[in-house]
Amino acid sequence: MTIRKILKQKLTEFPMVWNAYQVVKTQIKRLWLLKYFLCDISNVHRNMYWPSSNQSNLQLTSELLFQFHKIEKGLVMPGPKRFFGQEPARAVINLLNTWHMKGLSVNDPVYLGALETLHSYMERLQSELLDKDDRVLSHIRSFLNNHTARTELLATPYLLASMNGDIASNVHQFDGLVSIRRSVRSFTSVAVPLELIKHAVGLAQQSPSACNRQPCRVYLVTEERKKNALLALQNGNKGFGHLIPTLAVITSDSGAFFDASERHEPYIDGGLFSMTLMYALSAQGLATCCLNWCVSPDKDVGLRNILPLTDSELVIMLMAIGNPEPNVLVPRSPRKLTENVLIEVF
């Protein structure tokens, strides 16, 4: 028996001293864990800002999405048509000019979507005579005279698909999908076709994100050595990690957000993306299991030594993906009563 264990055993003989020891121990542990918050603060300081010049490609793309999405939202607002969007429109034009100077692809959907949004905005201002003082209209027209190409599939806004009979019937299929999705911990050794995962990721890209900035990425790992090294850093896969055929690491890039006021958004957007990804995989007959990334900073560094993450990427979770074993057992995992979750406020 170690000296530490002997001392602890002695302390238990004195209840008041033992209780005081437990309180002090808890407070010291809480203070020690403050280093987690310090790491978060450091990440926010390094990455969550958009410089006025020398933006990275990620920051440029994120700000462009952010600015032209403001215009898109204005174009669909209910009520009488009114003038809006002068500052975002000028910002979009400046960002598109920067896009050209950096030599980025003019076939990128973000670039083409920004152009379509400017065209729609200009058409709204002209058709509704909303800019009689020419606060921004001639500036947009001059820019678009040099960018006349149109992309019909990215035209905005567009009419929402109606809930016709076919779509309504799919709602019941979704009910079934939600009901059968469970965390699976027993997989066959059959490799997961990459095409199925690509399809699921494409659907997950339809998930909502703050101003459509789409900060998420998915790293797929199938090589045994790297997979095992990653799983060794995560504390929730004991007993089944060796059975996981494909391991996904889902990240959200904090560089897509402009300052600390958006500090929660990478995790919110990452959670939305991850849930859609799980449903998309389940709809194709694949099984998944979320593996949380509640780890110490040194383990986070360990993951970054294995995968080529940028400094600004935050790990949202790891996800096991595979074909479930026949007749696999899963926890029942009962849910709370809905009335304890849904609160009506009158």
The domain that contains 206 carries what CATH number?
Answer: 3.40.109.10
133 and 16 together in one domain: no
268 and 220 together in one domain: yes
Q: How far apart are CA 261 and CA 135, in angstroms?
A: 31
pLDDT at position 12: 82
311 and 263 together in one domain: yes
Percent of the chain whose predicted confidence (pLDDT) is above 90: 84
User: Could you read off the pLDDT of 19-55 as tens digits, one per residue?
Assistant: 888 888 889 989 988 999 999 999 999 999 999 888 9
85 and 13 together in one domain: no
User: Could you read off the pLDDT of 250-297 as tens digits, one per residue?
Assistant: 999 999 999 999 999 999 999 999 999 999 999 999 999 999 999 999
Instruction: Decide if 62 is inside a domain.
Output: yes
Instruction: Decide if 343 is inside a domain.
Output: no
User: Which of 17-31, 40-54, 164-178, 202-216 comes out lowest in average pLDDT?
Assistant: 164-178
DSSP 20-71: HHHHHHHHHHHHHTHHHHHHHHHHHHHHS---SSS--HHHHHHHHHHHHHHH
pLDDT at position 313: 98
Q: How far apart are CA 183 and CA 321, in angstroms?
A: 10
pLDDT at position 160: 86
- The neighbour count for residue 108, using CB atoms within 10 Å, is 13
User: Which of 92-101, 171-180, 248-257, 320-329 comes out lowest in average pLDDT?
Assistant: 171-180
pLDDT at position 170: 73
Spatial neighbors of 271 by CB under 8 A, at least 6 apart, are 316
Tell me the β-bridge partners of 320: 247, 289
Residue 247 pLDDT greater than 80, yes or no: yes
Instruction: Decide if 85 is inside a domain.
Output: yes
Full domain range(s) for residue 190:
183-322
pLDDT at position 163: 59
pLDDT at position 162: 67
- Where does the pLDDT of residue 1 fall: very low under 50, low under 70, confident under 90, or very high at 90 and above? low
Q: How far apart are CA 189 and CA 168, in angstroms?
A: 37
280 and 211 together in one domain: yes
Hey, what are 307's tokens?
A: 């995968």
Count the domains in the chain.
Answer: 3
pLDDT at position 194: 97
Sign of CA dihedral 12, 14, 17, 20: positive
Q: How far apart are CA 237 and CA 282, in angstroms?
A: 20
- Average pLDDT of the segment spanning 91-119: 97
198 and 289 together in one domain: yes
Residue 182 pLDDT greater than 90, yes or no: yes
Count CA atoms closer than 13 A to 129's CA, side-chain side: 1
pTM: 0.90
257 and 283 together in one domain: yes
267 and 231 together in one domain: yes
- Kind and range of the H or E element at 304? helix 297-304
Enumerate the H helices of 48-189 as residue ranges: 57-75, 86-101, 109-127, 137-144, 165-180
- Average pLDDT of the segment spanning 168-197: 90
User: Which of 91-100, 130-139, 171-180, 331-340 comes out lowest in average pLDDT?
Assistant: 171-180
147 and 227 together in one domain: no
Cβ(276)–Cβ(342) below 8 Å: no
- The one-letter code for the residue type at 208 is P
pLDDT at position 85: 97
Domain boundary at 117, 139, 154, which?
A: 154
Q: Coil, helix or strand for 147?
A: coil
Instruction: Decide if 171 is inside a domain.
Output: no
304 and 188 together in one domain: yes
Cβ(46)–Cβ(259) below 8 Å: no
pLDDT at position 218: 98
Hey, what are 239's tokens?
A: 């007993």
pLDDT at position 167: 63
Q: How far apart are CA 195 and CA 105, in angstroms?
A: 25
- Average pLDDT of the segment spanning 90-100: 97
Instruction: Decide if 222 is inside a domain.
Output: yes
Instruction: Decide if 345 is inside a domain.
Output: no
pLDDT at position 21: 82
Integer CA distances (angstroms), 325 to 177, 188, 190, 329, in order: 18, 5, 10, 9
Instruction: Decide if 341 is inside a domain.
Output: no
Residue 306: what are its φ and ψ, rounded to 5°? -100, -40
Q: How far apart are CA 297 and CA 39, in angstroms?
A: 7
Residue 11 pLDDT greater than 80, yes or no: no
223 and 279 together in one domain: yes
User: Could you read off the pLDDT of 298-337 as tens digits, one per residue?
Assistant: 999 999 999 999 999 999 999 999 999 999 999 999 999 9
Instruction: Decide if 223 is inside a domain.
Output: yes
More confident residue, 43 or 6: 43
Give counts: helices (H), strands (E), the chain. 12, 4
Cβ(254)–Cβ(270) below 8 Å: no
145 and 201 together in one domain: no
Cβ(344)–Cβ(283) below 8 Å: no
Q: Coil, helix or strand for 252?
A: strand
